[in-house]
Amino acid sequence: MRGVVSAVLAAALVLAAGAASGRAANPGPNVTLSVSGASGTVSLGHYVAYTATVSNGDTNNVTHLTLTAPAAGSTSPFPLTYVSASPSAGTCSAPPGLPLTCSLGSLPSGATDTVTFVFRAPAGLPASGAGVSFAAQVAFDEGLNDQNSSHGDTKLASAATTLSAVGDDFVTGFVPFDLGDDLATAGDLSGPSNGNPQKTDLAVSALAAASLGATGVVQEVSHPSTDTTSDCQAGFSCFGQTSFVTLPGVFSPPLTLTFRFDASELPPGMTQKKLRMFHNGTLVPLCTTPGVLSPGPTCQSSTASFGDKDLGATLLSSTNGSYRP
């Protein structure tokens, strides 16, 4: 698999709380913030995404949550161009002005909010160099009528990205995808089976990109551990995520899709020889010749076994649709 965005999780900066209106000082709820990415580099002109995750580990709700990004600690001037911001709750301020401010509202005890920011790298190396730091900051201000004692806290977290002439897009969720790019989804191959232990690479050849000249989207959707049959056929036990590809037209030369599945999510007895893929719920036939799309419109070109017991599969396809192991 190609490398994708390098991310360093760092939590820092907790501002002290104070008393107000005779109420006792309170160190504040156990709110945490992280910014996630994945290891590797992003090509100049390609997409990069960061996901900020806010978790409330306190017994009470936390209110008046706001998240700002790129925050203090980010590369300045910020060299990436804004594409989108997708909060799991609340709203984010309108672009193109940076930083963006996302109003997340109230976060219940034990709950988590996320905001995924998608940017595009510049076509050329910026004056600041190849290294890019993206920081996010979350703040809340509890008042007299809130569950917690009056105080304000701030959390800061960041991720690091390296820009290169040769690299990948790193995207997560439902985002734009330029034809001619290579894309890798945000799987965590070291994570638990109930996480996202799957990575999907998608390559669109330059010839196909030149003939279509349009923008499409890619989405990887997780399933609960109990869902082993959807996008599948009777007699098979599907696993992992489903990757949806939506690009305009019919692709000639075909798309190349490469999947890697962490050993933690493989069903008992699954081997390289047994690994088969489904396209729109239909079993994908093996390619007559590896690397050649025959039979069409989708065929499974090869499978792979890795030293850490991960399994992989490569498909060729000339159509959109869903893909699942």
Could you write out the DSSP letters of every residue in 245-275? EE-SS--SSPEEEEEEE-GGGSPTT--TTT-
| pLDDT on residue 160 | 85
Under DSSP, is residue 46 helix (H, G, I), strand (E, B) or coil? coil
Answer yes or no: are the C-beta atoms of 100 and 87 closer than 8 Å: no
| pLDDT on residue 296 | 86
The partner residues of 168 in beta bridges, in order of sequence, read 42
Under DSSP, is residue 97 helix (H, G, I), strand (E, B) or coil? coil
Does residue 159 register a pLDDT over 60?
Answer: yes
Confidence of residue 183 (pLDDT cuts 50, 70, 90): low
Does residue 28 register a pLDDT over 60?
Answer: no
| Cα 55 from chain centre | 18
Helices (H), the chain: 206-212
| pLDDT on residue 218 | 63
CB neighbour class for 284 (10 Å; exposed up to 12, middle 13-18, buried from 19) = buried
**Does the pTM exceed 0.85?**
no
Taking the CA atoms of residue 82, residue 87, residue 90 and residue 95 in that order, the dihedral angle to the nearest 10 degrees is: 10
Distances in Å between the Cα of 273 and the Cα atoms of 198, 265, 302 are 19, 17, 10
CA–CA separation, 63 and 66 (whole Å)? 9
CA–CA separation, 257 and 201 (whole Å)? 6
Topology at the third CATH level for domain 11-164: Immunoglobulin-like (2.60.40)
Amino acid present at 316: L
Does residue 27 register a pLDDT over 60?
Answer: no
- Main-chain dihedrals φ then ψ at residue 310, nearest 5 degrees: -65, 155
CA–CA separation, 228 and 234 (whole Å)? 11
pLDDT digits (tens, 9 = 90+) for 42-98: 778 777 778 888 988 877 788 888 999 999 999 999 999 887 788 888 898 877 788
Answer yes or no: are the C-beta atoms of 77 and 97 closer than 8 Å: no
Distances in Å between the Cα of 264 and the Cα atoms of 4, 189, 194, 309, 319 are 21, 9, 9, 9, 30
Does residue 315 register a pLDDT over 90?
Answer: yes
Q: Can you tell me the mean pLDDT for 302-322?
A: 89
| pLDDT on residue 277 | 93
Of 169-183, 191-205, 286-300, the poorest mean pLDDT is in 169-183
**Residue with structure tokens 């209110």?**
63
Distances in Å between the Cα of 53 and the Cα atoms of 20, 38, 149, 159, 279 are 29, 15, 24, 12, 32
Domain layout of the chain by residue ranges: 11-164, 185-324
| pLDDT on residue 17 | 27
CA–CA separation, 93 and 133 (whole Å)? 21
Q: Can you tell me the mean pLDDT for 232-250?
A: 76
The partner residues of 298 in beta bridges, in order of sequence, read 317
If one compares 137 and 157, the residue with the highest pLDDT of the two is: 137
Answer yes or no: are the C-beta atoms of 192 and 101 closer than 8 Å: no
Does residue 255 register a pLDDT over 70?
Answer: yes
CA–CA separation, 239 and 262 (whole Å)? 11
